[in-house]
Every structure is written in C-alpha cells, then in structure tokens.
Amino acid sequence: MELAASLNQLHKQMADACAPVVQDIVQSRCRDQQQIEHTLDRLLNCACIPEGLALFKALCRYYYTLNPAATADYVHAYRDLWDSEEESMKAEV
C-alpha cells in the first residue's frame, strides 16, 4: 500500500510540474512539435491520475490542430498504457 501511495504521489508531482508547461504551450500557441511531444511523453507517465489525464487531453486537443496523425498516436499510446479492457469494451459499444 505504501509503495502505491508513493507512486501516486510521484504521478501527482509530475502532473503539477507539467501544468504550467501545458498552459504556456496552449496560451502562447506554441508550434514547436518537439516541445509538445516531449511534454506529451511526460504526461503519458502521469495520465493514470485525473490531473495528469486532464492535462494530457488538453494538450492533445491543442496538438490535434497542428498534427492530427501524431495526436492519434499519443491517444493510442495512452489507451495501450492505461485503458483497461473493460473501458475499451464500453468505448466500442
């Protein structure tokens, strides 16, 4: 239990650290795909918690306007990492 709580806290810290970066990217209308993808890579690691997932979704929505194919790859990566089979089945119905 302690290990799980520690891991959850680390995910929360990563999401907190990424929040201003995501805000800056979106507000400044950043077009630096390398920076955006680096941030999405970091967010994939903490997308298992609500705060991380909200940031991941926000950045994906923004990035979709710049690069739909790459954004789809990130959505698929998220599903591979964090979606359970039960949630996937619900989405397909």
pLDDT 10s digits, 63-88? 999 999 999 999 999 999 988 654 54
Alpha carbon distance 69, 18 (integer Å): 23
Full domain range(s) for residue 11:
2-92
User: Is the pTM for the entire model greater than 0.75?
Assistant: yes
Max Cα separation, the chain? Answer: 42
How many domains does the structure of the chain reveal?
1
Quick: pLDDT tens for 12-47: 999 999 999 999 999 999 999 999 999 999 999 999
Say if CB 49 and CB 11 are below 8 A apart. Answer: yes
